[in-house]
A and B are shown apart, each in its own frame.
Chain A
């Protein structure tokens, strides 16, 4: 699939353009009705139209390809299809059961909790049902990128529901906050995605983030020039990744445990170093240089725009990683190795080199996240990495990258990261505490993964 898909039929293209324009026009009108700045309204309208047009074209192309493929293989399947109500049930039973369960849950809650009976909740419920239909009926059309499609739909639905239920969800401040946290998570996930594409896992990320966080402040406190300390921390992160890669190479099945041990050791060691001669065990105090604060703090400024540079950094980095994975030899070799080690090695790809490189990148990005988080918080704290222990994994998995390797990509992970952050923002918005969020995240990962990443039955593997 190309970067700018265009359907073969001109009619569809025109229809898509019209659709995008209409939605854009509605947004345009609403924007002026709310009394926004004219520049802002124009900017958002252009973005909306472009994004919608691209998305509609993408869907159209996917349908066209599917129809063409069906026309070729259609004859063979034709006689196997059942007819009547039975076939409807057989083909859709999971969907019907899921929708019925959701309806039941909604009715029970509505009947028992009076404050729940609001219009926004009804809309939210209808949107959820629509997602289910969409996820089951439309996603089948996409052979590749199915998970990304589901992720996008969930993302859009979450935004719609949140916008209805939470006051100020679509305000600039909140969007900025969501994007900023998504940037931290996204940068930390870049390495995890690469490693997962090769069939490994890197659990040292949270520890490296925490260690980089306090280590950077410690180095600055020692009098090292901040920019040099910043670079040094990232290089050390890369070195830790290098050790991870080298030591787990022969033990790829147990890379999970190996990196976990490495993370323990690194976090322990850095804390010992920073605690020597300090009465605050584990905590480091110091002054963060202004440029670092500006880089990641909520009130940061990029080229005059009041957007933290971290967001821009993440966008650039995402484009780089996605393009590199798709078009560079390095990216293609990672897919080759993840898909089939043996074949890849037979055509002369060094497994060791790419395995280690993936871990080096992972370590360096984790250290970068830790350093940026220092700019955000303004104080060193080892526990800052703790939430990333499983959220990096969750974002990769929700995005649809296979942990077995060979399938997925950073674009998927970006969607996963956004879903996680918007969901988290939504849960905070409706007043749930962190514990409940964690609980819901945990329960949510399973169905998301089950939608697209099921392994075949053992029968089918023999």
Chain B
């Protein structure tokens, strides 16, 4: 590879930038997002798309232009299967549903891989074939949206808390993939996707690697279908095409190369989140009857623009290689976190009129505004000055750590484990702050 270092990650710049813009707009337009129920339901709504995007990424990595257009109909197929089996009373237990969902996904994907390997037709034709067949059979199993999801699943889709089982599935799926990337198998997969002939010559057993990539995709689709069933609490055979097209858009937006060999789970996650946020932001504007059309138009434009921008990335990367995606994430993250905090706490503080000169000392005058409630966030009573000092110290410490990480990471070849840890802490911190401030006792925004 002649590209500069960090070429895998450079493609993340676009989705990160877009994410920052979209989160800001989304929070300003719809402050409900920044609350426990708001965030919880956002996760539940976005989860099927995110998992479908993971599945697409996994097979796209395998190369040969594998775009599994059938991912949406497959998801819908598993969805209607779960609902139908539940309706018949055959499979109702959690274990059974998971086995069925993941089983169908894996079996389909293994068949897909075997056809590519043995029959050796272009993957796009196999995907097309699967798309038509699955879309058809979905309508046969369940002619129109309906049916009921298993009882235990109903509570999953309520979304009144962040820590729902759906989040657990997402975290496990993401974590599982990250663990997988450490294995040599993943390196083989990437190598095969990048140049199958070279990989074959180097002794990679490409058939097994390809099947492996598809099995992982099948697991992701199965999990996605479970999340989707929990979300709509019924069966819907009609949404397959939309899901496919949205997931393809998300994959492309996330910087995954459909030609194979390049793609990260962070990118897929960012891409899917962005697409969810586009839908969310658009929903806050009242377009009336043309709502759906505007969404369609914007999806299309996003797809085109992200493709064109991805083409520019190597060119731009040559000149501004000093900006790493991590640094961009940090800087933009701080800005966005500021906006989020501002929005979510806007009504927490009473409006204080100008304090007359001479009343109280300077510190009291300029730095400390009395909070509305008496309750302290952590149950420890601190004077306003003490709290300010603590926060400032923590802030300076965090800044130092972060600067250090930025400097180290800029010279590193790939995004290290420490960097991941810092990002994770950062996200958790943001969530904690949002959770604390949107708590009803603190005058949170949600009623």
User: Which residues does A use to contact B, with CB under 8 Å?
Assistant: 201, 247, 250-251, 253-254, 256-258, 260-269, 271-272, 275-276, 279, 281-282, 390, 393-394, 397, 403-404, 433-443, 445-446, 449-450, 453-459, 461-462
A254 to B310, CA, bound (A): 11
Nearest to A457 among chain B residues (CB) is: B120
> When the two chains form the complex, which single residue of B122, B249, B298, B302 contacts A404, counting CB atoms closer than 8 Å?
B122
Chain B: residues with Cβ within 8 Å of the partner, total of 54
Complex contact A438–B133 (CB within 8 A): yes
Chain B residues within 8 Å of A275, by CB: 289-290, 293
B42-67 residues at the A interface, CB under 8 angstroms: 65, 67
* Separation of A443 and B115 alpha carbons in the complex (Å): 12
Nearest-neighbour CB distance to chain B for A206, whole angstroms, equals 11
Scoring A251, A435, A456 by chain B CB atoms within 10 A of each residue's CB, the highest score goes to A435
Beta-carbon nearest neighbor of A447 in chain B: B119
Q: Which residues of A have CB within 8 Å of B71? A: none
- CA of A127 to CA of B86, assembled, Å: 42
Chain B residues with CB under 8 Å of A393's CB are 128
Q: Is the CB of B140 within 8 A of A264?
A: no
Q: Does B304 lie within 8 Å of A262, measured CB to CB?
A: yes
- Distance between Cα atoms of A404 and B298 in the complex (Å): 30
Which residues of chain B are within 8 angstroms of A256 by Cβ–Cβ distance? 67, 124, 258
Given A439-B140, A458-B206, 7 more A-B residue pairs with CB atoms under 8 Å apart are A258-B303, A261-B249, A265-B300, A265-B301, A267-B300, A458-B196, A461-B197
Contact B124–A403 (Cβ < 8 Å): yes
Question: Which one of A201, A261, A265, A442 lies within 8 Å of B134 (CB-CB)?
Answer: A442
A461 and B143 alpha carbons, distance in the complex (Å): 46
Closest CB in chain B relative to A277 CB, distance in Å: 11
- Determine how close the nearest CB of chain A comes to the CB of B110; give it in whole angstroms: 15
Q: B311 contacts A250, CB within 8 Å?
A: yes
Binary per-residue interface labels of chain B (129-167) against chain A in the complex, 1 for a CB within 8 Å, 0 otherwise? 111111111111001000000000000000000000000
Shortest beta-carbon distance from B402 to chain A in Å: 36
Pick the residue among B122, B131, B136 that contacts A455 (CB under 8 A). Answer: B122
Interface string of B58-96 (1 = CB under 8 A from A): 000000010100000000000000000000000000000
B426: interface (CB < 8 Å) = no
Complex contacts, B380 vs chain A, CB 8 Å: none
Are B137 and A435 interface neighbours, CB within 8 A?
Answer: yes
Q: A256-B67, A272-B293 are in contact. Are A462 and B303 (CB under 8 A)?
A: no
Q: Are A403 and B200 in contact (CB under 8 A)?
A: no
Which residues does chain B contribute within 8 Å of A268, judged by CB atoms?
A: 293-300
Q: How far is the CA of A282 from the CA of B288 in the complex (A)?
A: 12
CA distance A462 to B203 in the complex (A): 12
- Provide the residues of chain B in CB contact with A404, threshold 8 Å: 122
A438 touches B135 (CB 8 A): yes
Partner of B296, one of A250, A264, A438, A456: A264
Note all chain A residues with C-beta closer than 8 A to B292.
282
What's the nearest-Cβ distance from chain A to residue B123, in Å? 11
A residues less than 8 Å from B140 (CB atoms): 433, 435-436, 439
Chain B 300-349 interface residues, beta-carbon cutoff 8 Å to A: 300-304, 307-308, 311
Give 4 nearest A-B pairs by CB, closest first: A264-B300, A268-B297, A442-B133, A261-B303
Interchain Cβ contacts within 8 Å, total number = 172
**CB-contact partner of A445 in B67, B128, B201, B307, under 8 A:** B128
- Tell me whether chain A's interface is mostly helix, strand or loop, or mixed: helix
B252 adjacent to chain A (CB < 8 Å): yes
Let me know if B136 and A254 touch, CB within 8 A: no
**A442 touching B136 in the complex, CB below 8 Å, given contacts A258-B304, A390-B128:** yes
* Selected contact of A253 from candidates B134, B258, B301, B303, CB within 8 Å: B258
With A257-B258, A271-B290 given, is the CB distance from A442 to B130 under 8 Å?
yes
Q: Which B residues touch A258, using CB under 8 A? A: 303-304, 307
In the complex, residue of chain A having the shortest beta-carbon distance to the beta carbon of B119: A450
The minimal Cβ–Cβ distance linking B8 to chain A, given in whole angstroms, is 18
Q: Is the CB of A435 within 8 A of B136?
A: yes
Given contacts A272-B293, A438-B132, A458-B206, contact A261 B301 (CB under 8 A): yes
Chain B nearest CB, measured from A317 CB (Å): 25
Q: How far is the CA of A87 from the CA of B296 in the complex (A)?
A: 58
Residues of A within 8 A of B248 (CB): 257, 260
Q: Mark B374-412, 1 if CB is under 8 A from A, else 0.
A: 000000000000000000000000000000000000000
Q: Which residue of A lies closest to B141 (CB)?
A: A435
Tell whether B126 is near chain A: CB-to-CB under 8 Å: yes
Of B115, B292, B297, B302, most buried by chain A (CB within 10 Å of CB) is B297
**Residue pair A403, B294 in contact (C-beta under 8 Å):** no
Chain B hits for A247, CB < 8 A: 304, 307-308
Let me know if B290 and A272 touch, CB within 8 A. Answer: yes
Given contacts A247-B308, A449-B121, contact A458 B136 (CB under 8 A): no
Given contact pairs A253-B259, A458-B197, A439 touches B124 in the complex (Cβ within 8 A): no
A-B contact pairs, 6 of them (CB 8 A): A261-B299, A434-B139, A442-B132, A445-B129, A446-B126, A446-B129
Flag whether B245 is at the interface (Cβ < 8 A).
yes
B168 within 8 Å of A (CB atoms): no
B350 contacts partner chain A, Cβ-Cβ < 8 Å: no
Is A260 touching B245 in the complex (CB atoms < 8 A)?
A: yes
| B125 proximal to A (CB < 8 A) | yes
CA gap between A403 and B200 in the complex, in Å: 24
A459 to B124, CA, bound (A): 21
